[in-house]
DNA sequence: TAGTGGTCTAGACCACCCC
DNA sequence: GGGTGGTCTAGACCACTAG
């Protein structure tokens, strides 16, 4: 019992490196400032570049750094709070500049979405693509799935692209909604989402799945992909949570 | 699982590898089944082990795989839905087996939490540590910060450990709460949280920060760290969302 | 064109788990 | 002890950006 054996577990180098870098970011760098390049940092700390990169990846995952190929590594600003749960329904604000409709097609939804929509696999549904922008930055890409019997107009004679997307949303606004369920999970950006989000494929994202219900059945399902590096999703009764976790 | 030769495509090898593995997981493996080890998989696909690992890391991030040192890589079950927003207040269910109190101390909270609590930096607050368990697995580690003026009993003569934690929660239950704000962001597990969650330090986690308010001021702040690989956080008016995004 | 981060290789050793 | 995943090295080349 008296043997105060300190664990002789050598902390991984990249972990220690991450701590050192994190403290340096707090004390010696300003937001937006560019760091020395990876080869120089690795040499400065006496580690291989791959090890240095492991530390940088962690810091990027935590939203402390931003890395862009061909440019460099910069100190990221604090994550922005993004409300995903406090407005009644995200398509009700017609003038809201947050969501920009991109286009709309009729397509077969993924199997998981078909189950949520409670339609047979293979059913064609309106598929509206939207982008959410905040502070001039794309922060989310969304696919909104709307079964054809939820909206009156098939939008077949509406010009494709944004106009057709707006037409579906306009029809959707006429539906009296009664409830909503949401879930959040970690994912990695598909190629198309990554392009919209200005990230590389595989970048970590927060996937928000929303099911909208009315009159006891599912009206629409939205799958929104938020940049995990720059976004903090806020829910709640009141105004957005203002501050970060430690 | 096929041993198809990888073509020279503009797509990164690890990305293509991830796709191939993902399809193999769907069609050729059962949940819980153990995969061939990394060296053999790498040889089978004709890539370096590091490249294979990049693909496995992505699949683990998406909750498709589970890797344990000394054991192997197994096919993960679908993520479990975890309700974090539908019960009024998570300490009101005295008999709820979900949250297990661990201990409680009086300590100085992190600066960000002090701001949320609206107390001067350096103030001592009750700090209750709890673990959330589901299906026999630890899924979350939480630190609950309660300013001393929120609860009557300083719990100074209560035995340390779980009894003291329970005492603070008991007092907290007497407070009439009026609101709550929550935020979700991506983080990486600190060493202590990682130990509680049975993961390695740095593992990806979903950090849920909750601010509880009553009579116009903040009563408590909870910072809960959920395993991002196994959990899908659910919010909403109704029952938990049942299905996953594609 | 020069410089950045992104990908990839072929090794090595270590920490951990189970037999 | 034998096998697993985790860490680390010292290179190489590629994709992208900017001056």
List, for residues A55-74, the tens digit of each pLDDT value: 999 999 999 999 999 999 99
Band (pLDDT 50/70/90 cuts) for residue A226 is very high
Q: Which residues of chain A have a CB within 8 Å of the CB of B201?
A: 15
Parallel, antiparallel, or unpaired: how do β-strands B231-236 and B80-83 relate? Answer: parallel
Q: What is the residue-averaged pLDDT of chain A?
A: 86
* Choice between B60 and A171, residue whose per-residue pLDDT is larger: B60
Q: What is the number of helices (H) and of strands (E) in chain B?
A: 6, 10
Q: Is the pLDDT of residue B236 over 80?
A: no
Residue B33 has a pLDDT of 96
Band (pLDDT 50/70/90 cuts) for residue B190 is very high
Q: Is the pLDDT of residue A164 over 90?
A: no
Q: What are the pLDDT digits (tens) for A138-160?
A: 999 999 999 988 777 655 677 77
DSSP assignment of B216-242, as one string? TEEEEEEEEEEETTTEEEEEESSSPP-
Backbone φ and ψ for A191, nearest 5 degrees, come out as: -60, -45
Give the H or E element holding residue B59. helix B49-61
Q: What's the CA angle centered on A200, arms A83 and A203, to 5 degrees?
A: 50
Parallel, antiparallel, or unpaired: how do β-strands A137-147 and A217-227 relate? Answer: antiparallel
Question: Strand D neighbours with CB under 7 A?
Answer: A 12-15, 46-51, 54, 68-71; B 10, 35, 37-40, 49-50, 53, 67-73, 200, 202
Q: Is the pLDDT of residue A8 over 70?
A: no
- Residue B187 in 3-state DSSP? strand
Q: What are the pLDDT digits (tens) for B50-65?
A: 999 999 999 999 999 9
Residue B163 has a pLDDT of 81
Tell me the average pLDDT across B219-231.
95
Gap from B19 CA to chain A (nearest CA, Å): 11
Q: Is the pLDDT of residue B237 over 90?
A: no
Tell me the average pLDDT across B127-142.
91
Residue B4 has a pLDDT of 40
Q: Is the pLDDT of residue A245 over 50?
A: no
Q: Is the pLDDT of residue B135 over 90?
A: no
* Choice between B150 and B124, residue whose per-residue pLDDT is larger: B124
Q: What is the residue-averaged pLDDT of chain B?
A: 86
Band (pLDDT 50/70/90 cuts) for residue A238 is very low
Q: Is the dihedral of CA A30, A31, A32, A36 positive or negative?
A: positive
- Residue B147 in 3-state DSSP? strand
Q: What are the pLDDT digits (tens) for B101-124?
A: 999 999 999 999 999 999 998 899
In the DSSP assignment, the letter for residue A34 is B
Q: Which residues of chain B have a CB within 8 Å of the CB of A185?
A: 63, 79, 206, 228, 231-233, 244-245
**Contact state of B233 with A184 under an 8 Å Cβ cutoff:** yes
Tell me the average pLDDT across B13-35.
96
Nearest to B15 among A201, A239, A243 (CB): A201
* Choice between A26 and B85, residue whose per-residue pLDDT is larger: A26
């Amino acid at each position: 019992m008296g043997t105060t054996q300190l664990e002789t577990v050598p902390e991984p180098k990249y972990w220690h490196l991450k701590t050192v870098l994190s403290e340096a970011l707090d004390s010696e760098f300003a937001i937006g400032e560019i760091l020395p390049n990876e080869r120089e940092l690795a040499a400065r700390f006496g580690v291989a570049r791959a090890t240095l990169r492991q530390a940088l990846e962690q810091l990027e995952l935590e939203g402390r750094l931003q890395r862009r190929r061909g440019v460099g590594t910069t100190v990221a600003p604090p994550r922005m709070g993004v409300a995903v749960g406090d407005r009644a329904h995200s398509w009700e604000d017609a003038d809201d500049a947050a969501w920009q409709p991109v286009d709309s097609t009729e397509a077969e939804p993924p199997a998981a979405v078909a189950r949520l929509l409670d339609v047979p696999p293979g059913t064609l549904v309106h598929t509206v693509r939207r982008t959410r922008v905040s502070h001039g930055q794309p922060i989310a890409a969304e696919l909104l799935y709307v079964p054809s019997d939820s909206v009156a107009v098939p939008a077949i004679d509406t010009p494709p692209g944004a106009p057709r997307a707006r037409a579906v949303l306009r029809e959707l606004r006429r539906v009296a909604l009664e409830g909503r369920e949401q879930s959040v999970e970690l994912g990695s950006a598909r190629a198309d989402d990554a392009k919209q989000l200005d990230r590389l494929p595989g970048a970590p994202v927060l996937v928000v799945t929303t099911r909208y219900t009315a009159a006891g059945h599912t009206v629409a399902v939205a799958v929104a992909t938020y940049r995990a590096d720059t976004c903090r999703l806020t829910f709640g009764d009141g105004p957005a949570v203002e501050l970060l976790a430690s």
